[in-house]
Amino acid sequence: MDGDLLLVDKIGIDFKLLKALIYHYTKIEGIIKWETWEKIIARSCDGEWISGDKYMADAIKSNYGFNIKSVKKPFSKTKFEQYIDYIQCRVPIQNESLLTANQIGDEIIKTLITKKNESFDDLNIDTMIDVIIVHNRFGDDYNIRMFFDYQPDYSQYNYTWIDNCGYIDNDKKWKFKRNKPDKYGQTRLNVKSKLSLSNCDLDFKVVCPVKPDPTEEELLSNYDKYVNTIRRKS
């Protein structure tokens, strides 16, 4: 994934608002949830959040669609190069038992292209941007690294498919991995990306003091206030 330092400027991320949103939601959630990250990116660039998982685009702005993925993972402040993987989408395949490994791989790539094109057609956009967020919390410090890049055309690569994993050219690490059905019968596709400081667009922390647990007296006092409020309304 080649970093594009100008892309953040093109998108129009308001960095101060971004940090304020992170501070706000950290106070509520402690560790920010994946769906909240989608909302944060959308709001920080004055875009629109797209709820649900029908589309590849989790947010849009102008002609841009944002495929936003977040991974909670520790990282070093001085050295950072690692592979991360994330769930992209569900990939149901008809008559799978009758297909070869390469045919299943073709269906996986077709699903990715279809999901992307549906976002283009239905949301009136023409460019998909992958946004990968690696985050962790250490004490009061919420550490964040963000990577923005134009999504590649997955159909341009030569793949080798082994055990539901797709390898590009001679890479020893898989790029795609289709998981076995879960208890609900859903098969999900994981995508792997290599990240490093050289292609990191935003590297920062937000100081969010950890709120101490309330004392017993505070708990009882808050509960009494709640009960009294309910009584007055009834």
Q: How confident is the prediction along the chain (234 residues), in pLDDT tens digits per residue?
A: 444 447 888 899 999 999 999 999 999 999 999 999 999 999 999 999 999 989 999 999 999 999 999 999 988 777 678 889 998 988 888 887 888 888 889 988 999 999 999 999 999 999 999 999 999 999 999 999 999 999 999 888 989 999 889 999 878 899 999 987 777 767 889 999 999 888 899 999 999 987 777 788 888 888 888 888 888 776
Question: In whole angstroms, what is the distance from residue 65 CA to residue 126 CA?
Answer: 8
Q: What is the pLDDT of residue 2?
A: 43
Q: pTM of the predicted model, to two decimals?
A: 0.85
Q: Count of alpha carbons within 13 Å of 116, Cβ hemisphere only?
A: 20
pLDDT (0 to 100) of residue 1: 41
The alpha carbon dihedral of 75, 68, 88, 50 has a sign of positive
What's CA 121's distance to the chain center, in Å?
A: 22
Write the CB contacts of 125 (distance below 8 Å, at least 6 apart in sequence): 57, 60, 62, 63, 64, 65, 119
Q: How far apart are CA 128 and CA 131, in angstroms?
A: 10
How confident is the model at residue 75, as a pLDDT? 83
